[in-house]
Structure 1
């Protein structure tokens, strides 16, 4: 029944889009679609998705087998919160992929590289404070959101929050550059490497450290994906240019993290207290960014002034 509800709800959601197509798309004869020629690239895109799902599910399965259902539940709850935050960070990939693909099809490689650099900076300027911010409030948030018996989830969330930055990087390079520029093999290889690293590390780390071992394996596997992709594109685009302003985002996030932790010491944390910490964290992060003056921020301010 659960599976049926999930399947039908998604099917209804997809079908609801069809009426809007009538005004934009004409009926095309099936014979003119040439479906066979699209099978190979579709399968190529399917492989990394399968590999990703395998190691994402294996984490919980192996935890359940080695440590029990409770350990798997702790990991699952931590992972769900991280994935919710990640949806904001990776949204740019969905938006920019068609734009980059169009520029690549037109032969405008300069625009493709410029889009990647801009996208990377936008992702990192958001990913760093989200990762540090979530890590700073992870403990009180887990108690408030899940209950006192799930207090340990906060520790796992704080460590796993690192993947927000790592997946942000791999999303920019993989989804927004490798895929639109038809480098499917490099993208697929990176994801498969992440899956293999995760599976290999899970066995010893879960045995030694339990749920924390699975969290560490996840972080290392995502780091492997990002590192491989960076190595693959190092001759196509300047890595220094790609990460030129990263230290400013990192320093701003660290200062934000320290201040949030200091504010939260010795106080009972409720909804309003956590919300207040989030607001203070945002103010601190933006203020430090204005002091460090990253080029991305300066260019947007100049552009805004010129328009207004």
Structure 2
């Protein structure tokens, strides 16, 4: 039986927290050892590999989560569905490696360091055998959390042991692959616990039935990836590895914070898919409104905090050589809020309702803005232009989703509590900026900004009797009483 949304969110947030915590330990070290041009080369290659991975996945991960969630109460059907999807994914993976070989033979920028590119291409295989979609579909977030922590700890130790200077790019590439996807090996082996071949006569498998719906999801995935990966690819081709390095540093912390808001989406999509499959509209509406409110409560202060703390964050995490990353980080900070809203609208409502065409169209609008602005701005403004293009893409995606999908989305978009979140974030910003002017060591400033910003925001919500805070405190009080 699936655990509660709250438990799953906490587990997934812990998993996301480790994904944030470990880069906070490793990225400052890597910035100083590999430096901007080394980081740029790795991320340039990684962006190309990401595109190949997208094509070899063909939209399977997102589609499979929904399909497994719909049939998870029937073991036989779930087994058959999982095997069909996995076999389809394996066939596409072979095609992906043909593309890898072709690029190694024809692209000069890749031939500079083919071994690094091949190491990073292991992402394609590990993504396939990981079947992360299966564990999300059945909501086994406890396993995902424990496995993620163990693998990241091991990869962290290996990073510090083997990456010593700029010549160790290949080892850093290994860390990027195994640190993120190394646990997928265990995922594959653990499938035996859930999937039993005796429930599936191979003659009854029908892989073909998944192709058409997967292609619909793929169209969504590919347009989304344009402004997630194409930014780095275009910057690498039009400029150089140094520009990619500055942009990577600017986006690194934002991506960590995005994980906090997207954690809820990863939990909610299988749950809302299941509620829709069971025609439970009332619970669906209640759950979605709570998700939207909570996403705003989290995303608004994170956006404001990243903008205000950007100079100190870059100084502490990356060093003075990355000061050029401060302005890009501030430019892209509102993306946290945009993605939080679009995740609720697109992944938690429209997609589970089968309105994938609307989600794809909205992401396509964002992709067009991103592509055109990158082509126009990069030659003149380099990584600053890419940052602007990225922000405009996310804003246009979210706004178009609000407009085109409004009749399918049962949400109250603006409430009194949302204004409280905004005002609380502004008070938090004053506290952060005040601390930023104190002349002490940068690491101490960043810690003070984090703690003070959190407590100012928390007590502001407490002062206005916010439902989320009061519910949280009530649950703690109840557990303490039961414990006594």
Deviation at 1:81, TM superposition (A): 2.1
Q: 1:252 aligns with which of 398, 416, 424?
A: 424
1:202-221 deviation line (CA, Å, top 9, x unaligned) = 23333454322221211111
Q: Tell me, yes or no, if the aligned pair for 1:140 and 1:269 is still in contact at 8 Å.
A: no
Give runs of aligned pairs for residues 140-159 of structure 1, distance below 5 A.
Answer: 140-159=312-331
SS for the counterpart of 2:304 is helix
Q: Tell me, yes or no, if the aligned pair for 1:63 and 1:210 is still in contact at 8 Å.
A: yes
Which structure 1 residue ranges, 4+ long, deviate > 6 Å from structure 2?
none
Matched, 1:137 2:251: no
After TM superposition, the score normalised by the length of structure 1 is 0.91
> Partners of 1:5 and 1:208 in 2: how far apart?
33
> Partners of 1:68 and 1:17 in 2: how far apart?
37
5+ residue gaps, structure 1, are none
Matched, 1:25 2:195: yes
Deviation at 1:115, TM superposition (A): 1.7
Deviation at 1:197, TM superposition (A): 1.1
Q: Give the aligned partner of residue 282 of structure 2.
A: 110
Q: Give the aligned partner of residue 268 of structure 2.
A: 96
Matched, 1:16 2:186: yes
* Structure possessing the higher relative contact order (Cα contacts under 8 Å, 6 or more residues apart): 1
Q: Tell me, yes or no, if the aligned pair for 1:82 and 1:164 is still in contact at 8 Å.
A: yes
1:100-147 deviation line (CA, Å, top 9, x unaligned) = 011100111222222211111111111112121122211122122212
Q: Give the aligned partner of residue 243 of structure 1.
A: 414
Q: Tell me, yes or no, if the aligned pair for 1:174 and 1:187 is still in contact at 8 Å.
A: yes
Q: Tell me, yes or no, if the aligned pair for 2:261 and 2:295 is still in contact at 8 Å.
A: yes
Which range is displaced more, 280-289 or 269-278? 269-278
Q: 1:57 aligns with which of 205, 208, 229?
A: 229
> Could you say if the C-alpha distance between residues 299 and 221 of structure 1 is closer, same or farther in structure 2, counting changes exceeding 3 Å?
same
Q: Give the aligned partner of residue 341 of structure 2.
A: 169
SS for the counterpart of 2:330 is helix
Q: Tell me, yes or no, if the aligned pair for 1:55 and 1:198 is still in contact at 8 Å.
A: yes
Q: Tell me, yes or no, if the aligned pair for 2:307 and 2:333 is still in contact at 8 Å.
A: yes
Deviation at 1:30, TM superposition (A): 2.7
Q: Give the aligned partner of residue 384 of structure 2.
A: 212
Aligned residue-pair number? 307
> Partners of 1:5 and 1:207 in 2: how far apart?
31
Which range is displaced more, 77-86 or 58-67? 58-67
Q: 1:233 aligns with which of 405, 422, 429?
A: 405
Matched, 1:295 2:467: yes
1:5-32 deviation line (CA, Å, top 9, x unaligned) = 3344635532312333323322122332
Q: Tell me, yes or no, if the aligned pair for 2:312 and 2:445 is still in contact at 8 Å.
A: no
Give runs of aligned pairs for residues 72-83 of structure 1, distance below 5 A.
Answer: 72-83=244-255
SS for the counterpart of 1:267 is coil
Deviation at 1:201, TM superposition (A): 1.9
> Partners of 2:404 and 2:469 in 1: how far apart?
29
Matched, 1:5 2:119: yes
Q: Tell me, yes or no, if the aligned pair for 1:121 and 1:243 is still in contact at 8 Å.
A: no
Matched, 1:275 2:464: no
Over the aligned positions, Cα root-mean-square deviation in angstroms equals 2.2
> Partners of 1:119 and 1:36 in 2: how far apart?
35
